[in-house]
Amino acid sequence: MGSYRFILSGGGTGGHIYPAIAIANELKLRYPDADFLFVGAKDRMEMEKVPQAGYKIEGLWISGLQRKLTLRNLMFPFKLISSLMKSANIVRNFKPHAVVGTGGFASGPLLKVASGKGIPCVLQEQNSFAGITNKLLANKVAKICVAYDGMEKFFPKDKIVKTGNPVRGDLVLLVENKVEALSFFGLQAGKTTLLVLGGSLGARRVNILIEQSLPFFKEQGIQVVWQSGKLYYEDYKKYESADVKVVAFLNRMNLAYGAADIIISRAGAGSVSELCIVGKPVIFIPSPNVAEDHQTKNALSLVEKDAAIMIKETELDEKFVTVFSDLVNNEALSKKLGANIKNLAMPNATKEIVNEIEKLLVQQ
């Protein structure tokens, strides 16, 4: 048979884009002569990130529905028709052997068209609470790769395969030499190191918490690697000191994880999957500003297994100091959380997803 052709569609956020790129990279390793095409939404970040990863991308005129009456909502039927028509042209011209959807509005029209033409389609759902696009597509696709148990409440049970979420490749190369990792950030060995992750853009409420807690951390002898995010870096860089390292973005995540003793993080699906592999005690502060409050559900899935701690934003003022103090001063609790979260890791997720795609290729 000639070279395979694959279409991958997903976007809007990094949580949809980076899994799609990871899957494409694994497919490319196995099929170096394959052709790849990404399909995203015209005005979203995938139009920049996918070409940076070395892949071609086509943009659809599509966006989600707002919760109130807006011009964007009135335009939605026209955008949907336009996107379905362009998707039909893309599928007809590219003739894919398989299509992969990782969530986001652009994947809806593309996978609807492809599945309607009998092309094998695979969904990859990152969260413990399924996104609306993937729920709508569930009955039309061949396989649905998930990261959490209990997803049959959203999808047909016979289509579900628990694979985990793709994570960045350098995580398997975690820096085990902690002294080396600390040296990279200019921090001291022998002190407890807190890593704060608010995402590449930043998390306003998390940043406010860390700013307020700096005197407490100093009193406790805690040193901090603080990813403030690029939206907030200018506001917080003034706190840079020997014990507080403020960065807009962490380019060497493996070193950051290697240096950390305790981690504070949002609970996006990608972050949760990475932190399982890292295997260190985590306090999740879920963002309340996401669809269906899925970050809280992601965090709870670990809390219920004694694998992490969660504090809601509304509880931070009341609970944070007590919860953090209990964790930092309780070595047994730290070890238990670290061991339990590592037991949930699925480091071969990308390979497992591509294995499922390969099974569909063989059936053609």
SS3 letters across 48-102:
HHHHHCCCCEEEECCCCCCCCCCHHHHHHHHHHHHHHHHHHHHHHHHCCCEEEEC
- Is 168 marked within a binding site? yes
- Is 11 marked within a binding site? no
- Is 30 marked within a binding site? no
- Is 13 marked within a binding site? yes
Dmax (CA) for the chain in angstroms is 67
Q: Is 201 helix (H, G, I), strand (E, B) or coil?
A: coil
Adjacent-strand bridge partners of 60: 41
CA atoms within 13 A on the CB side of 96: 29
From CA 279, how far away is CA 83, in angstroms rounded?
42
- Is 295 marked within a binding site? yes
Instruction: Give Cα 125 distance to the centre of its chain.
Output: 10
Buried/exposed 44-81: b ≥16 CB within 10 Å, e otherwise: bebbebbeebebebbbbbbbbeeeeeeeeeeebeebbe
CA dihedral 358, 141, 117, 46 (to 10 degrees): -80
Residue 10 corresponds to which amino acid? Answer: G
Q: Is residue 273 classed exposed, middle or buried when 0-12, 13-18 and 19+ CB atoms within 10 A define those classes?
A: buried
Question: What Cα–Cα distance (Å) separates residue 239 from each residue in 52, 194, 212, 252, 267?
Answer: 33, 15, 11, 21, 25
Q: Is 346 helix (H, G, I), strand (E, B) or coil?
A: coil
DSSP for 224-284, written as a single string: EEEE--TTTHHHHGGG--SSEEEES--S-HHHHHHH-SEEEE---HHHHHHHHHHT--EEE
- Is 127 marked within a binding site? yes
- Is 227 marked within a binding site? no
From CA 295, how far away is CA 285, in angstroms rounded?
9
- Binding-site sequence positions: 13-15, 127, 168, 200, 295
| Annotated binding-site ranges for UDP-N-acetyl-alpha-D-glucosamine | 13-15, 127, 168, 200, 295
